[in-house]
Amino acid sequence: MAWNEPGGGNKDPWSGRRKNDGPPDLDEVFKDLQARLRRLFGAGGTKGGGGGSVGIGLILLALLMAWFISGIYIVDADESGVALRFGKYVATTQPGPHWYPRFIQSVEIVSVTAIRHANVSAHALTGDENIVNVDYTIQYNIKSAPDYVFNVADPDVTLSQASESAFRDVIGNSTLDDVIQERRHEVAIKAKELLQEALDLYGSGLNVINVNLTKSQAPQEVKEAFDDVTRADEDRDRFINEAEAYRNEIIPVARGNARSMLEEAEAYKFTTIAAAQGEADRFLKILAEYEKAPRVTRERLYLETLEAILAENTKVMVDVDGNNNMIYLPLDKLREQGAGRVFVEPVDPGASAAGGRGASQGGDYRSREKR
């Protein structure tokens, strides 16, 4: 029989139980618990029961709103969100506003498009057994946010270590001169390829954009000797550039001169050919006249020849046959005095040669002065 039934006596479970009493009534237990909660929130008594329920509801609603608002997050245009549920990857959220249930899920925001830089220094052994010091800069970004978050503990340290390994591999297959001078760009390109392969193998989620070899030099102990070699190479390049500049300057001039000489030679050729053709035509015409009147033509040619010769001379010496004297004709003085010009005319073979002043060579011609 229950403790609250008639004749059951006072067997309230909260005031203690007697030996061999039955279990407490559950209805009373719940009622007592509700009363305690009402007193806790300041609503005591049965009349304030409705107000206490409202207060609890408001508190729970406020807590719910705070929980909901705390799960709102925004992913920027250059970012990606990695959503986790109890630490396990769920999804990748794209740019824009999102919500996740806090305490159940979490989100890690990762900047995926920003260009990051890493400066690394390393020492490596070349293929010709020389040590070289290299400084290089790596430009990279994140191509997979989940891989970047989960697959490696520290992606930046992994990048640095993998780049050193890649450079040592490339430098180990190159000579010191290649690394320092001749193939610096090729070394950087090959190291970039090997670095990307290693990062992809690790699943790091990193993408290498560029590797720039900023400095490569021999150890300090032999640096001076290599600097001398470098200066010699620079002088060689300078001399080559100067020679190239001189060649580029002189060759056009030489080509212009050669073209001018060719053109002059062509002009001379055509002039000479034309003159020769003209002389040949003139000779043929004279020949035709000579065949008609040989004596007259011969005399005319003789006179024309002497006229052409004497026209350019200012002094004429005439030798007379049979006489040791020579006749001197100062043509320049005679011209100045207005005496006219001196010419030579043929002498009649039958005429007397007594006054032989004007006799010419062979006694066939004589010279006289026209007044």
Q: How far apart are the C-alpha atoms of 170 and 216, rounded to whole Å?
A: 13
Cβ-contact 83, 150 below 8 angstroms = no
pTM: 0.45
Choice between 53 and 211, residue whose per-residue pLDDT is larger: 211
State the total domains in the chain: 5
152 versus 333: the higher-pLDDT residue is 152
Q: Say if CB 132 and CB 124 are below 8 A apart.
A: yes
From CA 53, how far away is CA 345, in angstroms rounded? 163
Residue listed under structure tokens 């050919």? 273
Percent of the chain past pLDDT 90, that is, above it, reads 26
- Reported as type and span, the H/E element at residue 91 is strand 88-93
CATH code of the domain in which 184 resides: 3.30.479.30
87, with CB counted inside 10 A (0-12, 13-18, 19+), is exposed
Instruction: Write out pLDDT tens, residues 172-225.
Output: 998 888 888 778 889 999 999 999 999 999 999 999 999 999 988 877 777 777
* Structural domain contains residue 161: yes
- Higher-confidence residue of 2 and 99: namely 99
Domain that residue 282 falls in? 230-292
Residue 347 lies in a domain: yes
Is 11 inside any structural domain? no
Q: Are residues 148 and 66 in the same domain?
A: no
Q: Which segments of the chain does DSSP mark as H helices, in order?
A: 26-40, 49-70, 145-150, 155-172, 176-177, 184-202, 223-292, 294-310, 331-336
Lookup result for tokens 């073209």: 259
Binned at pLDDT 50, 70 and 90, residue 95 comes out as confident
Tell me: pLDDT of 371 over 50.
no
Would you place residue 151 in the very low, low, confident or very high pLDDT band (cuts 50, 70, 90)? confident
Of how many residues is the chain composed? Answer: 371
